[in-house]
Chains A and B, each alone.
Chain A
Amino acid sequence: MSDSATHDAHAHPQEKQYWAIFVVLFVLTAVEVAWSYLGFEGVSLVVPLLVMMFVKFILVAGGFMHLYYDAKLLNGKLFSWTFAAGLILTLLVFLAVFAAFEFPS
């Protein structure tokens, strides 16, 4: 096995971990849809849906896109903060835009 393959085998998840991530994503999506049909309104509807959406986001970015493993293995702090800083900046900009338009809650 080449160096490259050895690196990939250690740095990235095994096949069963990919399947596990997919099953969790599948279940979360099913729960999301079911939740939207259960008749909840307002905060009790929106907050759980946003939490599940965020978990799915983290699972795909961290697991499938290898962000968790790359950040851990390759010059972790700088790599992580490059994306964390951008993400925080983006969220602040969008919050400012919503505030500027007085977006209703």
Chain B
Amino acid sequence: MSETAVLDDNAREEDELVVDHSGDSGEHHDDGHHSSLGISNTKLAMWLFLGSECLLFGALISTYLLSKANFMTQVLAGNPKVLATLTKLKEVAPEKYEEILEEGSVEPLFDILFTSASSFILLMSSLTMVLSHKAVSEADYRASRIWLGATALLGSIFIAGQVYEFTVFYNEGIYFNKNLFGSAFYTLTGFHGVHVTVGIIMLASLLIMSMRGKLNQDRAETVEIVGLYWHFVDIVWVLIFTIVYLIP
């Protein structure tokens, strides 16, 4: 037997082992070995990465809540540094300063209706993402490209909205390094924005792969894994929208 034939036999045996290990010979994909949890290693790796991301965003949300509470506590306690920040705000945006004093918080700066529209856009992008995965699973590559493009476009609109919101806040005198609220708010929403941007780059890469004919039915799980990341980013925004924007 030639060396090539021996290698082919070994490869076949490995394939059979992979199928047996999955516990369901009718469910295997071509794009990765299966872990003992029943899913492919690549998909499991993404889930583990998302688990670590949960801790990251959990820490950022907690920091925001604690900083916000501390900020208002320090205003009431007369912390000179915090009061100096408010004095500066009085010079830059006197109307907002009055609003803050009346409302007792910085939340009047939030434009809830605008942010609601951003939330709808991001939720819609999650729908187009799953439709893209479904299309590529069914070998409907044209539809898959349309949905991938739509997802990237909706994500870009969301980012444009966030840039607009940050610009408004900046013009109102809320800077990253001016107070605890600014630092915590920009860090939390900024990190989320960076994640959305990375997701858009992933989607653009998939779109290019698809246009070059390299994203076929056998690689549907690649789209699903990028989708997992995208939906996670959506979930984080669901939390941020309620906790940061809607709850005083």
Does B198 make an interface contact (CB < 8 A)? no
Complex Cα gap A45–B107 (Å): 16
Say yes or no: B138 contacts A5, CB within 8 Å: yes
Say yes or no: B120 contacts A4, CB within 8 Å: no
A97 CB contacts on chain B under 8 angstroms: 62
Please give me the residue from chain B that is nearest to A18 by CB atom. Answer: B130
Does B16 make an interface contact (CB < 8 A)? no
Complex Cα gap A70–B29 (Å): 14
A1-35 interface bits toward B, Cβ cutoff 8 Å, 1 = contact, 0 = none: 01111111101100100110110011001101101
Main secondary structure of the interface of B (DSSP, over half): helix
Does B58 make an interface contact (CB < 8 A)? yes
Complex Cα gap A4–B218 (Å): 7
A79 CB contacts on chain B under 8 angstroms: 37-39
Main secondary structure of the interface of A (DSSP, over half): helix
A90-B54 CB under 8 A given contacts A22-B124, A32-B246? yes
Does B144 make an interface contact (CB < 8 A)? no
B123 CB contacts on chain A under 8 angstroms: 22, 25-26, 29
A49-B138 CB under 8 A given contacts A97-B62, A104-B69? no
A86 CB contacts on chain B under 8 angstroms: 51, 54
A4-B217 CB under 8 A given contacts A36-B112, A94-B62? yes
**16 A-B pairs whose Cβ atoms sit less than 8 Å apart in the complex:** A2-B218, A4-B29, A4-B217, A4-B218, A8-B134, A11-B27, A15-B131, A37-B112, A45-B247, A49-B246, A52-B242, A60-B234, A65-B231, A74-B37, A82-B37, A87-B54
Chain A contacts to B: CB under 8 angstroms: 2-9, 11-12, 15, 18-19, 21-22, 25-26, 29-30, 32-33, 35-37, 45-46, 49-50, 52-53, 56-57, 60-61, 64-66, 70, 73-75, 78-79, 82-83, 86-87, 90, 94, 97-98, 101, 103-104
